[in-house]
Amino acid sequence: MRPDWKRDAFAGTLSAGTISLSDIVSALSFALDLTEDARPGHAVRSCLLGMRIGTELGLPDQQLSSLYYALLLKDIGCSCNANLLCEMVGGDDRRIKRSVKLEDWRYPSISGLKLLWEHAGAGEAILMKSKRVLSLAMRRRRFRNELVRLRCECGVKVGRKIGLPEASVEAISSLDEHWDGRGYPERLRGEAIPILARIINLAQCLDLFSSENGTAAAMRSISARSGSWFDPELVRVARALSQQNRLWEFYGSGMERKVVLGLEPGMIVRADDAQIDRIAEAFADVVDAKSPFTYAHLLGVRDAAMHIARQIGMSGERLNLVYRASLLHDLGKLRVPNSILDKPGKLDFMEWQVVREHPGLSGEILSRIRPFQELARVVGEHHEKLDGSGYPGGLKGDQLSIESRIVAVADVYGALLEDRSYRPGRSRAAALLSMKESVPGKLDAECYEALAASSASGLPFARRDSSHVHRDMYG
């Protein structure tokens, strides 16, 4: 049975009710942008556009609130299909995700074939690549439906875990449905598609089309797809807002998130400790879902980190910091393609550089939330080593906080227990023995001894199937 981590009342910078939910969610939406290879801020810009359309329609505040959070978290399930997509195309799942959203897959096209040829079968011989592309082209609707259905199922599960309104969850589940009934996964038609989903689909495509070719081209694209992809009435509203210079106001200004925070309908929702923890746990699920080898990795790191922290006498604010850092430290992994995460062999130099960027990305995402600055620092340091041989900053010794050291030890331990794409997991004893070689040079001795004591007492560190790619000295 998993331990129930009841922590002390939180006092300090993250006191209950002092942070707006929109501040947290809008910042974490930048992590979701990584899964789709979208230009940073995609979800926030989609929210800016979608809220203007919803407001113009005269939706009541309760419905607008559901729309607001659904827009920011619309891609909450998108990491779940990354591995399947990587296997299908034999290439970079993130790059093809970005490209497929711009293509009309309802009908065969030269542009679609060119897209598949560009992204599928990376490194394969011409004959194998040709067979893969042909198979993808012939089965494009079935493959697309399978990928979207998986995304929807995960999005619904994670959305409910966060505590989103059911209208938001329903909208996230249906955002790939098309007005003409040729969307995914249920082939809903017309007004059978929830109105919030119709708005989200239009808003996200406006941003995607604009990011590629500019706002004028985006308006032409949605007009061309009016009645097929999009609700004609929503297209009419978007065009009217654009003509009145109200749709694109502040778009591309760099101030979009600030503006979006001011668009939250009704009273500002404040997040208490329990809600912050649910969000952290939900985003840990999002990260772990990216690869079949990372099932529950972050929950395992959380368990180990909390045992270490308790063992060394930590409590209160510091314990809460460890709890959240252990769950959120791998947010940046959402930027790593599955062709790297699940690679069975050794990473080349460029692949390794991509992996090394993830701690900094995790910290950068969390640093957007002003009260989370210390959390961002701890998260960004989880691959640093005491002797300065870690990354990304080469920090050493006293430069590393005790919380960073705890998460680092717990993360290494979790990785060693888990199966990887290139090796099987180890027993607890073997994992601890391997880690001992790096104590105290690289890993903190006190944290290691606390972990060893907890493990020896039989506390429940579950062995998990995982290839959490710790491509460092433990590879």
Strand pairing category for 270-271 and 19-20? antiparallel
**Tokens at 413, concatenated:** 């331990």
Identify the CA nearest to 80 among candidates 142, 26, 149.
149
Q: Which listed CATH number (3.50.30.30, 3.30.450.40, 3.30.70.2170, 1.10.3210.10) goes with 19-79+146-270?
A: 1.10.3210.10
The dihedral sign for the CA sequence 347, 350, 353, 357: negative
Written as one letter, the residue type at 135 is S
Asked whether the beta carbons of 33 and 43 are under 8 A apart, the reply is yes
Exposed/middle/buried for 278, CB within 10 Å: 0-12, 13-18, 19+? middle
pLDDT of the chain along its 475 residues, tens only? 334 443 332 223 334 457 999 999 999 999 999 998 999 999 999 999 999 999 999 999 999 999 999 999 999 999 999 988 888 888 788 887 877 777 776 666 777 777 778 778 788 888 888 888 888 777 777 888 898 999 999 999 999 999 999 999 999 999 999 999 999 999 999 999 999 999 999 999 999 999 999 999 999 999 999 999 999 999 999 999 999 999 999 999 999 999 999 999 988 889 999 999 999 999 999 999 998 887 789 999 999 999 999 999 999 999 999 999 999 999 999 999 999 999 888 899 999 999 999 999 999 999 999 999 999 999 999 999 999 999 999 999 999 999 999 999 999 999 999 888 888 889 889 999 999 999 999 999 999 999 999 887 766 554 444 333 332 322 3
CATH superfamily of 272-456: Hypothetical protein af1432 (1.10.3210.10)
CATH 1.10.3210.10 positions along the chain are 19-79+146-270, 272-456
For the chain, state the CA radius of gyration: 23
**Tokens at 397, concatenated:** 């010794």
Q: Please report the pLDDT score of residue 410 as a whole number.
A: 97
Q: Please report the pLDDT score of residue 17 as a whole number.
A: 58
458 to 369, 426, 435: CA distances (angstroms): 38, 16, 18
**Cβ neighbours of residue 58 closer than 8 Å, sequence gap 6 or more:** none
Q: Please report the pLDDT score of residue 10 as a whole number.
A: 27
pLDDT (tens digit per residue) in 53-92? 999 999 999 999 999 999 999 999 999 999 888 888 887 8
Q: Please report the pLDDT score of residue 24 as a whole number.
A: 98
Percent of the chain with pLDDT over 90: 71
**Tokens at 16, concatenated:** 């209950």
Active-site choice (97, 333, 343, 385): 333
Interatomic CA distance for residues 215 and 213, integer angstroms: 7
Q: Please report the pLDDT score of residue 123 as a whole number.
A: 81
Written as one letter, the residue type at 131 is K
pLDDT (tens digit per residue) in 316-364? 999 999 999 999 999 999 999 999 999 888 899 999 999 999 999 999 9
Residue 101 falls in the annotated catalytic set: no
Q: Please report the pLDDT score of residue 128 as a whole number.
A: 86
